[in-house]
Amino acid sequence: MELDSVFYTDRSGIPSNLLLDQLPSYQSLLYRRKPAASGSTKRRSSSRTRSGSSNSVKFGQTTLVRQYEEKQRSPTLRRPIRELAKPMAEKRSDKLERLEQAKDLSGWSQWRQSTRRTLRRLREESAELLSNLQLWRGDIHVIEGMFGTGILSYFSFLRFLVLLNFVMFLLMFSFVILPIVVAPHASGNATYNYANGDWVVCSNYPSTTRRGLVLFQQHITDLLSGEGFLEQTYLFYGYYKVQAINFSQFTYNLPLAYLLVTIAYLFLSLIWIVKRSASGFKRNLVQDEDRFQSFCNKIFAGWDFCIVDENTARLKRSSLHYELKTDLEEERIKQKIAHRTQKEKCRIYMLRLILNGFVIAVLAACFYAIYVATNFSQSAQMTKVLDTTLDCGEQLWENQYLPSIVITLANFVTPLMFSFIIQYEDYSPAFEIRFTLMRCVFMRLASICVLLVSLWGQITSCKESPCVCGYNHVLYPCWESRVGQEMYKLMIFDFIIIGAVTVFVEFPRKLIVNYCDCGLARWWGQQEFAIPNNVLEIVYGQTICWIGTFYCPLLPAICTIKYFIIFYIKKVSLVNNCRPATRPFRASSSNFFFLAVLLIGLALACIPVLLSVAQIQCSKACGPFVNYTTSWEVLPRAVDKLPAGARSFLLAISSEAFAVSFFVITFLAMFYVIALAGAHKRVIDQLREQLAMVSLHNLPGFTPL
Amino acid sequence: MIKTFETPPPFASQWFDPLPPPALSSGTSCRLHGRFHELAPHLVPMDYTNEPDIRLPLTLIVTMPELKENPFRNRIVEVFSEDGQGNLSFNDFVDMFSALCETAPRELKAIYAFKIYDFNGDNFLCKEDLEKTLNRLTKGELTPEEVRLVCSKAIEEADLDGDSKLSFSDFENMISKAPDFLSTFHIRI
């Protein structure tokens, strides 16, 4: 039986399979190979295999193989023996061979080899140790075993967010809060800032601590709404009135630190997310570039070899079956679309236009409702100080939480509407799912924007326009704290809703479906863990955290705790109440999808933060930026105080000349990379044709023209 | 010589010197020996110093919980057995789990996956191989017409040289782009 010569691949010039070796992807694979867990990198070696396992024929040693083995005598072109596809007995003989060869080497090469081996083993062991230290490793293994890799990706995404929030909290804490707390102990004295000059009129900040006899319920209300006693704590922006901390050796400029930490955490989140999504993005690009390989992927990589449970195996089989049927259906629909007549096309497009218009109208209505609710809530909060007849419950739910309630209701109703409407728009099933998701993402994230815009409208509208201080200092003496409170309320309410839905909807549903054999149970069915909706929920929470951290520096800590608890809530709910989804969500594409949505959330969160840092006047009654017009002004002033060399360097970097040349160079690099990609694509197409021609040549009876 | 099972021996160096440690750690190798012994306690000795040639038949190996639910369990055991009939010695047993563990490199897994899916052993994945694979996967829930359609589409997607069957190079090229392969093609032991 002839050996397939494509099993031999090496760089020492034996013509193995020239065509495949020339493929750009192959070359870059050779160059950039990351072996799983082992340290050996750019070496390729032979990987002999058995020819035919259904009979016990020992493969013959062709001259090719012997020549090849001789080339392999050099010790540098070697893979670890364990990575070779040989039976154990052969690996042992190989090892003996290598040991003999090693004795022939000089002491220097021997030492190098043994060091390399030790380093590799060290690396592997540390990687194993690090992976053991991962948070929730055991829980996630259990979930993977029971529900497969799709749901696993949701939980590892949740874990990633817990870590991200924790790191953000550490940043904020160590650069902003820690110096203030440590100052008295480290013999540093803090200087506080007071508004001076023209801004004195804006600096009147009435105290919000409650006076007199405070009812117990008031404390609960304050805790849930961030007002009262919470407003005068490190939780909110307004409490950071320190201007500078004078330690013995240096002066710590707190406003500068506050601003730089804000920029740092946004930048860090961006880098971390992009790094995590890079591999998924490359895979998606490759998939789109090449023919989409859904069938092959399902047949050869569809079965999860980790499954040990009979029920899970049955479910996996039915989900594979469902996936294949869906793909066949997609093929059928593609054929149908290709054969559409003109009249049908017109009808479909008209219908789509009308339905999209309807969707936009619904979205506009929701946004208007949020706008009205925010305005009502803000004005109610202004007047509540005077009106003491309102009891706590009403105050809380009708005034404070009204925007949150409206947003949650809108986010609950609109996905149902979207999934109903899209059935009539006659798209292919895969596109339907993606499009509905996109609409839901837009709805969720845009509702936060609408809330912020209406808040901003309220803050910057005064009786006499334009406002004296740049903002309404009568109603909002410390507007940043107020925005921070709104974000805090959104976050708390989101957490309450997730917990409440789990306890009051999912558990009863399970009880009803399991124990009551009525029509309701049959229609409702068992709970399915809907991954996209759950992901949107936590992305929404994370966006609020990103926006709110500037105004409420301890928000990342609250978010960490919130996601930590949500992990356990979701896990318990999943294990007890849910069955695996009939529409399986593929792990590979879902990772990329989650991170893409998170990136959209980050981009959306950057806009309000950067706008308010650069454009809106900071309040003169509270916060670290009292003596500056806008928060951004801290930077130019700090740069002015630097020594001349550093100052001129920084000024040069921020000048137009540098920016223009930087952009020009970036564009040139981009054009080069695009041209390279185009050239590779052409080479790939040519090589494919060559392959087809070569195999045609090899057919018996082929006579070239 | 360590005879008992309580104190895990420095496994590789003790019994298979000078074999380098497999991709599994020594603790795992020790555990593997325990599992191998469990399958046939009267056949498998605890002491491997004399390197006894004990082979367990396929029917015994596929009763392991890790393999029990796998539709390709017979093929996996056959591929790793030296005689091709599925009788595994302990060497082959360790080999099998080493190749299928999480840390094994992608190329190695691709080679063994190709061998597993190649039912008739002709170094090509032809239509019959694919149909058998698909039937094992879905346990006959698809109609023959659908099976034919899926297999022809799969070959269409992956076949580079146009001979309407998949050689190893086609397979490797396809599997390197299959995003789920690494995460699904491993057995945890």
Amino acid (1-letter code) at residue A256: L
Q: Do B146 and A324 touch (CB under 8 A)?
A: yes
Among candidates A378, A379, A377, A365, which has minimal Cα distance to A414?
A: A365
The rounded average pLDDT for each run of 10 residues, N- to C-terminus, in chain A (705 residues) is 38 44 59 44 34 32 42 51 70 80 77 88 82 77 71 86 94 90 76 69 72 77 80 84 82 90 94 83 54 74 83 80 79 82 89 92 92 86 58 66 88 86 80 82 89 88 75 82 90 92 86 79 75 87 94 93 93 82 59 84 92 86 84 88 88 89 96 94 86 72 59
Mutation pick from A16, A30, A33, A305 vs chain B, by most beta carbons of B within 10 Å, is A305
Q: Do A52 and B141 touch (CB under 8 A)?
A: no
What is the C-alpha end-to-end distance of chain B, expressed in Å? 26
Token match 């909706």: residue?
Answer: A533
Q: So what's the pLDDT on residue A551?
A: 92
Q: How far is CA B164 from CA A137, A625, B110, B153, in A?
A: 44, 71, 20, 11
pLDDT of B1 strictly over 60? no
Q: Who contacts A275 (Cβ-Cβ below 8 Å, separation ≥6)?
A: none
Q: So what's the pLDDT on residue A25?
A: 56
Contact status of B17 with chain A (Cβ, < 8 Å): no
Q: So what's the pLDDT on residue A337?
A: 81
Q: Do B78 and A54 touch (CB under 8 A)?
A: yes
Could you tell me which chain B residue has the CA closest to the CA of A88? B91
User: Mean pLDDT, to the nearest integer, of B167-188?
Assistant: 83
Q: Between residues 588 and 647 of chain A, which touch chain B (CB distance below 8 Å)?
A: 588-589
Dihedral, A444, A447, A452, A453 alpha carbons, nearest 10: 140
For residue A230, the 8-state DSSP code is: G
Identify which of A25, A56, A82 has the shortest CB distance to residue B84. A56
User: Mean pLDDT, to the nearest integer, of B143-170?
Assistant: 86
| A440 and A539 Cβ atoms separated by less than 8 Å | no
Q: Does the N-terminal peptide bond of residue A466 adopt cis geometry, omega within 30 degrees of 0?
A: yes
Contact status of B15 with chain A (Cβ, < 8 Å): no
Identify which of B103, B106, B137 has the shortest CB distance to residue A303. B137
Q: So what's the pLDDT on residue B26?
A: 67
Contact status of B150 with chain A (Cβ, < 8 Å): yes
pLDDT tens figures, B79-133: 988 888 888 888 888 888 888 888 888 888 999 999 999 998 888 889 999 999 9
User: Mean pLDDT, to the nearest integer, of B10-15?
Assistant: 34
Could you tell me which chain B residue has the CA closest to the CA of A313? B69
Instruction: Answer positive or negative: Cα dihedral of A493, A494, A498, A499.
Output: negative
How many CA atoms lie less than 13 Å away from A664 in the CB half-sphere?
6
Contact status of A533 with chain B (Cβ, < 8 Å): no
Token match 């995590």: residue?
Answer: A276
**Cα–Cα distance between A235 and A213 in angstroms, integer?**
24
Could you tell me which chain B residue has the CA closest to the CA of A25? B173
* Higher per-residue confidence, B36 vs A40: B36
Mutation pick from A300, A334, A588 vs chain B, by most beta carbons of B within 10 Å, is A300
Q: Who contacts A327 (Cβ-Cβ below 8 Å, separation ≥6)?
A: A294, A295, A298, B150
User: pTM score, two decimals?
Assistant: 0.72
Per cent of chain B over pLDDT 90 is 7
Q: So what's the pLDDT on residue A235?
A: 87
DSSP A538-557: HHHHHHHHHHHTTT-TTHHH
Q: So what's the pLDDT on residue A52?
A: 33
Residues of chain A in contact with residue B160, where contact means CB-CB under 8 angstroms, are 688, 691-692
Q: Do B19 and A88 touch (CB under 8 A)?
A: yes
Distance of CA A29 to the CA centre of its chain: 26
**Cα–Cα distance between A287 and A560 in angstroms, integer?**
35
Q: B31 to chain A, minimum CA–CA distance in Å?
A: 17
Structure-block tokens of residue A169: 């909290």
Q: So what's the pLDDT on residue B6?
A: 38
Q: Between residues 21 and 60 of chain B, which touch chain A (CB distance below 8 Å)?
A: 21-23, 25
Q: B63 to chain A, minimum CA–CA distance in Å?
A: 11
Residues of chain A in contact with residue B82, where contact means CB-CB under 8 angstroms, are 56, 87, 89
